[in-house]
Amino acid sequence: MSFDPLVIRRDFPIFSRTIRDGKRLVYLDSGATSQKPQQVIDAEVDFYRLHNAAVHRGAHQLAEEATDIYEGARDIVAEFIGADRDEVVFTKSATESLNLIAYAMGNAPLGNRFHLSPGDGIVVTEMEHHANLIPWQQLAARTGAALSWFEVNQDGRLDLSNIESIITENTKVVSLTHQSNVLGTINPLKEIINRAHQVGAVVILDACQSVPHMKIDVKELDIDFLVFSGHKAVGPTGIGVFWGRAELLEALPPFLTGGSMIENVTMTGATWAPAPRKFEAGVPNMAQAAGLAAAIHYLQEIGMDSIHAHELKLTQYLLDKFADLAPLKIVGPKTIEARGGSISFTFGDIHPHDLGQFLDSQGIAVRTGHHCAWPLNRKMGVPATTRASLYLYNTIEDCDALVAGILDAKKYFG
């Protein structure tokens, strides 16, 4: 099947509504959350309509069906990212996944490979989303470990020139984003992973902005942990994924404790079920797992390579248009190399909030502000930016609408 965004758009009911007095919806905010195809909405609704019961419990048919759907979703996620099924943990969000890892490490007793103490190091980058920065700041504060980071240069790329002094023999954890949600930069993982593994550190990849957009294989990447959220990958909100290598999940203590995650419980103590259940306390977000499975199925039917190629085509188109659109300044890489479809920019004296408001009046949805990456904004010397982020349902017409909208805003605020 040839890739046609106009055919794809028909699967997304939201594109049949209009915005601000009858304007066509130009949705350029998929970096914040993606829209949902009917197939995903149906999967979530069908779970409640037909199969609803608590998974892993109950000796009845509905519980069996619910368990099959939930565990089936785990198989689908595992296959999607090249993992083994017992390495895939469902959480409520990528933010929860990252906090899970950080808190679980904080629970690791002396002698456990994840135990952190003063003298140990945690490494992040300056381009992290707050969700992959603050949990590590907090873990460092609780354990006395030192937090250090790779800086970002003015082209929006990581500065790896001092990699050996940032990732040292003391480094235990390296956590970084695969693709920046602000800059669109795709980070050079190989060099960082090699160095981290050389010193015995684990590598955590925030793949929120990459898993929805390109084929990812965790074994091929040679990383240790990966997180992503369902809602940025045409799936529902309330479902995130935490993947870890089996032997690491075995060593990692639990974070949330309670029902489902135990092997045996007495009045004075408990032992843990093996992963993934060790990390899934309580009745999970089952309908959302069903929705995520439908989302992945949807993306795979279209093909991750086709989706990626389409986004690259649109990104290149916008980069070319933006190059001639003074006083527009791209904040991030200006070329397509190692870059995805998140394009942040400033536009002269027009503040992003005002530009975003104007674009909204034209039916164009963009994100404005610091995009939950305040330190990065400060580093780039811009208090706020406007961001257009692309996905499989966007078209050249959407890109043209954005450019026309920016030009009209220039006249309006002139």
Q: Which residues are catalytic?
A: 372
Q: Rounded to 10 degrees, what is the CA torsion of 397, 401, 402, 404? A: 130
User: Could you tell me the smallest distance in angstroms from the CB atom of residue 316 to another protein?
Assistant: 29
Helical axes 396-413 vs 304-323, angle rounded to 10° = 30
Round to whole Å and give the CA distance between 214 and 201.
26
CB nearer another protein, residue 18 or residue 357:
357
* Residues 336, 341, 344, 345, CA torsion sign: positive
Round to whole Å and give the CA distance between 353 and 335.
26
Round to whole Å and give the CA distance between 92 and 68.
19
- Tokens for 166? 């940032």
Phi and psi torsions of 169, nearest 5°:
-60, -20
CB nearer another protein, residue 219 or residue 353:
353
Name residues whose C-beta falls within 8 Å of residue 161's C-beta, 6 or more positions apart in sequence: none
Q: Which residues bind another protein (CB under 8 A)?
A: 20-21, 351-354, 357-358, 361, 368-370, 374, 377, 383-384, 412-413
Q: Is 162 exposed, middle or buried (0-12, 13-18, 19+ CB in 10 A)?
A: exposed
User: Could you tell me the smallest distance in angstroms from the CB atom of residue 139 to another protein?
Assistant: 22
Round to whole Å and give the CA distance between 126 and 142.
21
CB nearer another protein, residue 276 or residue 356:
356
Which residue type, as a one-letter code, is found at position 300? Answer: Q
User: Could you tell me the smallest distance in angstroms from the CB atom of residue 384 to another protein?
Assistant: 5
User: Could you tell me the smallest distance in angstroms from the CB atom of residue 410 to another protein?
Assistant: 14
CB nearer another protein, residue 190 or residue 378:
378
User: Could you tell me the smallest distance in angstroms from the CB atom of residue 367 to another protein?
Assistant: 10
CB nearer another protein, residue 178 or residue 387:
387
Name residues whose C-beta falls within 8 Å of residue 97's C-beta, 6 or more positions apart in sequence: 89, 91, 227, 228, 240, 241, 242
User: Could you tell me the smallest distance in angstroms from the CB atom of residue 270 to another protein?
Assistant: 39
User: Could you tell me the smallest distance in angstroms from the CB atom of residue 18 to another protein?
Assistant: 15
Round to whole Å and give the CA distance between 342 and 376.
15
- Tokens for 350? 């027009």
User: Could you tell me the smallest distance in angstroms from the CB atom of residue 380 to another protein?
Assistant: 12
Label each residue of 306-369 as H, E or C.
HHHHHHHHHHHHHHHHHHCCCCEEEECCCCCCCECCEEEEEECCECHHHHHHHHHHCCEECEEE
CB nearer another protein, residue 10 or residue 353:
353
Phi and psi torsions of 72, nearest 5°:
-65, -35
- Provide the total of helices (H) and of strands (E) in the chain, helices listed first: 14, 17
User: Which of these, 242, 201, 247, lies nearest to 225 by C-alpha position?
Assistant: 242
